[in-house]
Structure formats: C-alpha cells, structure tokens
Chains A and B, each alone.
Chain A
Amino acid sequence: MVWDQDKEATKDNYASQTIVLDQILHELDTLNIEQKNNQRFRVDVSAEALPALLSLLKGRAGYTQLSAISCVDWEDEFELVYHLWSYETKVLVSAHIRIQYTPAVYVSVYDIYTPAGFFERDIYEMYGVYFEGSPMMEKFILTEWHGPAPMLKSFDTLKYVNDMFNWQEYQPDWLKEIQAKGGKVVS
C-alpha cells in the first residue's frame, strides 16, 4: 500500500540523510549533531557558521522549508532556533545558535529562505533582536506599542496590567447566593 512504501522510502532516506549530514559536519568544524529520533535532528552551531549551514542544507540536502525560527530568552543570551524541514527525506533539523544579549543583532537569512522575513520581524518585535539585511524590519503586530519588547523575561506583564487597568466589581445574584451559603473562591 502507498503509505507503507512511503515509510520504506523514509527509512532509505534516513540512511542517506546521515551521510549528507556527516559530510556537512566535516565541512563545518563548529558543528555538533544530536539525533533525537528518526525524524528529528538537533544541530548546535556557532552563530558565524549558521548562514553557511543553511545554504548547504538547502542546496545540497533538500531542506527547502524553513518551518519556523524560534527565539528563547536565556536572560544572559538569546538562543535562536532554525527549524528546517526536508520534503524529500522527511527529516526536521533544528539548528541552534546563541547570540549575545546586548547589542542583540544578527544577520538575516531572508535571501536564503523567504519565510524568514516574517519570523525575524516577529522576533524583532517581541525580543528586540535586530536582523541585518532583512527587508521586512518595520513593525507589524506591535505597531501601536511603545513599551519594552514584551517577550523579554525582564518585562513583567502582570505589573504592567496592574498599572494600566482597573477591574470592575462583578457581584451577580447567583454569586451572592453561593456566598451566602458559605461558598468562596478557592485559590
């Protein structure tokens, strides 16, 4: 049946996949590959080598889709994770890099992967990490926000909310009835 053949093909590709990744490993010395399962690879790479790795993966190993770029705030440095998916070999490679906290600047990979434009802009808005060379660096979601980058761990959303907003009293009859019977909010 069709899906069984697909599975077989995936296994074959998996073998060839490790070969390709091995070759790339030899070409770039600052690379650390960790295999999680058949379809997930984690690659740790230095920030300078990432664009080269991405173009190699796209050009040689068929990683045509940039699934997402995630940013993690580790309070002393940012971690950027590039998730790449290959439609040919059905394998996802996550390339992890670390960049410094201030100034948070990195190079854009827009000219390798077009979808990077959206994710880089998102990270710029949410974390303040600037990507040099991206044509889409103007604001999109937080156009009318003047505070600090909200996704930073140092930004306390609860404090901001308490400063900016009120709460209104909500005492409907049914709540009063319950409270009269001795009910209360369990916290």
Chain B
Amino acid sequence: MKDVIPIQTNNTETIAVSKNSKNIYQQAIDTFSNFCRARSLFVLHYCTGCGAIELPPAMTSRFDMERLGIQPMVTPRQADILLITGYVSIKTLKRVILTYEQMQGPKYVIGICSCTVNGGMYWQSYATAKVLSEYLPVDMYIAGCMPRPEAVLTGLQQLMKKIEKGEANSWENYFKRYDYYLGNQQHLFGDTWHTPTDILEEARHYHLYGAESTGNNTARLIKYTVEHDLTKLDAPLREKDSMTKRGKK
C-alpha cells in the first residue's frame, strides 16, 4: 500500500472567479453563449455503474431527453457532460479521469446515485472510490439508488439553469486547484500516476492558472515525468499542440 501522500480534506469553498471588468459587448456575448450552452447539452455515453440503467429510459421514447436539447454523444471530445452513473471502481476512476481531461471546457460532471456521494451501498468495499468530488470537480449530485429518470431529467434541467446564469464554472477549478485533485488521485493510484494530458500547460494557455495549480503533488508528477523521460515521448504531441496554439493567438 502506498500511503505516502496524506489524504486531503475536501475544501468545499471554491475559488472566487475574478470579476474582471468586461465591457457591455463582451457581457452580451457571454450571456448569449451561456444561453446557447444551456440549450444544447451533449452527454457522454459512458456507463460507469448501475445507475446507467436509468439513462436509456430517460433517453428513449418515454422521457425523451432530446426534447430538452440533451443528446447522447459517443466520444469525450464531443461531449459536454460526464454523467458518473453510480459507483466508480478504482479501475474505472482512472478511465473517468482520463476521459474528463479529454473533454473540452466548459464541461460538467454530474454524480448520479448515492454511491458517488459517499460510497452508498458499497461504503465498505475495497474496490470503489467513495467521494467523487475529491478526484474531479462535481457540478451536481443526484442522490438515490438509483434516481428515477424524472430525477435525472430534473437534475439536468437545474444544471441548465445554472449554466444559463453562468454559475456552472466548477470545471475551471480543475485547472485552478489541480494540485489538490492530483494529490487525491496520487493517494489512490500511487506516486506514478500520470495522464497524457498536460493540465498545467492547458491551464496556462487558457489563463486558468492559479496559485493552487501547482504544489507538492504537481512537483512529484513533474519529477516523475522528467525522470522517466515522458516529456520526450510526448514531444511531438506537445510540439503540435503548442504550434496550433501559437497559430490561434
């Protein structure tokens, strides 16, 4: 057992988004963007647990998600919402994090079922992760074992309201507090945990780099990647990414 990294308690207060002075046109564009975002949600088609059995009814003829503008999507690149449907075993949690990092912001995570809140029925189990918000920023929990399709749809509608008001920004926390999330991930998966996505570079590129983005845990990650020459392996990828980013500016 690798108990090197101490458990960090979940700091629920989110970092206040600096209300930088935006002129009226930018504000209008923001409002309109949020209006559109709230009306079109692509849900990633990934069943992590048993709650996924209530998604087909919610998507199909009886409850019909599409009338609210919600569509299932196949790959993480295309999706906006990651529905964590029920317990995540540790093996799945790794894939969930990889999936989440591949998604494009603004992205939202909804924890469906009690298992994502506190382990639920499997609180005793050695194989499932207990509190989802320690590893990913979660926008909303829908409790129940399992929540009915009506509950899922109500939850999604509440998320839509949040998005329209521009309050669903917890995805930015993943960049701003990457050290915290990475620490918890390392605690569970061991020191050698690393993902192909370079979160810190993305945070710098999208101006989401904060004081809590780096810390002991990210230092450990960087040390590991340097020691194992992973930077070299990823080099063509990085070059390509930075090239396009340069082009965009």
Contacts of B189 in A (CB 8 A): 144
Given contacts A147-B1, A161-B125, contact A166 B130 (CB under 8 A): yes
Query: Could you tell me the dominant secondary structure of chain B's interface residues?
Result: loop
Once bound together, how far apart are the Cα atoms of A146 and B190, in whole Å?
10
The reply to whether A168 and B125 contact each other, CB–CB distance below 8 Å, is no
State A88–B114 Cα separation when bound (angstroms).
Answer: 47
**Interface 0/1 of B175-212, CB less than 8 Å to A:** 00000000000011110000000000000000000000
A residues engaging B (CB < 8 A)? 143-147, 150, 155, 157-158, 160-161, 163-168, 170
CB distance from B49 to the nearest CB of A (A): 15
Interface residues in B109-156 (C-beta closer than 8 Å to A): 117-119, 123-127, 129-131, 133-134
Given A147-B126, A163-B3, CB of A168 within 8 Å of CB of B10: yes
Interface residues of B in 67-122 (CB under 8 A from A): 90-91, 94, 117-119
Q: Which residues of A sit under 8 angstroms from B125, Cβ to Cβ?
A: 157, 161
Instruction: Please indicate the chain B residues that have their CB under 8 angstroms from the CB of A150 in the complex.
Output: 126-127
Interface residue tally on B, bucketed by range: 20 to 34
- Contact yes or no, A165 B131, CB < 8 A: yes
Does the CB pair A170–B118 fall under 8 Å? yes
Main SS at interface, chain A: loop
Contact B90 A144 (CB under 8 A): yes
The closest CB in chain A to the CB of B134 belongs to A166
1-59 of chain B: CB within 8 A of chain A: 1-3, 7, 9-10
B188 to A, closest residue via Cβ? A164
Which of chain B's residues have a CB closer than 8 A to the CB of A146?
1-2, 190
User: Given the complex of chains A and B, what is the CA–CA distance between A158 and B125 in angstroms?
Assistant: 7
Is there contact, CB below 8 Å, between A167 and B124?
A: no
Give the docked Cα–Cα distance between A167 and B7 (Å).
11
| Cβ contact within 8 Å between A158 and B124 | yes
**Closest B residue, CB atoms, query A158:** B124
Is the pair A168, B131 in contact by a Cβ cutoff of 8 Å? yes
**Does B1 contact A163, Cβ atoms closer than 8 Å?**
yes
Contact A160 B126 (CB under 8 A): yes
User: 29 A-B pairs, CB-CB below 8 angstroms?
Assistant: A144-B90, A144-B91, A144-B189, A145-B90, A146-B1, A147-B126, A150-B126, A155-B126, A157-B124, A157-B126, A158-B124, A160-B126, A161-B119, A161-B124, A161-B126, A164-B7, A165-B7, A165-B119, A165-B130, A165-B131, A166-B7, A166-B10, A166-B131, A167-B119, A167-B131, A168-B131, A168-B133, A170-B117, A170-B118
A147 to B91, CA, bound (A): 14
Q: Whole-angstrom distance between the alpha carbons of A160 and B29 in the complex?
A: 51
Report A171 CB to chain B, min CB distance, Å.
Answer: 12
Contacts of A157 in B (CB 8 A): 124-126
Q: How many Å lie between the Cα of A170 and that of B141 in the bound state?
A: 12
Q: In the complex, A157→B134 CA distance in Å?
A: 21
CB distance from B129 to the nearest CB of A (A): 7
Cβ 8 A contact of B130, one of A144, A158, A163, A167? A167
Residues in B whose Cβ lies below 8 Å from that of A166: 7, 9-10, 130-131, 134
**Chain B residue at smallest Cβ distance from A167:** B118
- Docked CA distance A158–B124 (Å): 6
Smallest CB-CB separation from A155: which chain B residue? B126
In Å, the complex CA distance between A57 and B119 comes to: 45
In the complex, how many angstroms separate the beta carbon of A149 from the nearest chain B beta carbon? Answer: 11
Q: What is the bound-complex CA distance between A144 and B123, given in angstroms? A: 20
B3 x A144 contact (CB < 8 A): no
Given A144-B90, A163-B3, the answer on whether A168 and B118 have CB atoms closer than 8 Å is: yes
Q: Are B129 and A165 in contact (CB under 8 A)?
A: yes
Could you say which of A157, A160, A161, A170 has the most chain B C-beta atoms within 10 Å of its C-beta? A161
Q: Which residue of A lies closest to B189 (CB)?
A: A144
- Nearest-Cβ distance from residue A151 to partner chain B, whole angstroms: 10
Q: Roughly how many angstroms separate A144 CA and B190 CA in the complex, as a whole number?
A: 11
Distance in Å: Cβ of B247 to nearest Cβ of chain A: 39
Q: In whole Å, how far is A74's beta carbon from the nearest beta carbon of chain B?
A: 21
Contacts of A160 in B (CB 8 A): 1, 126
Most chain B beta carbons < 10 A, residue from A150, A163, A164? A164
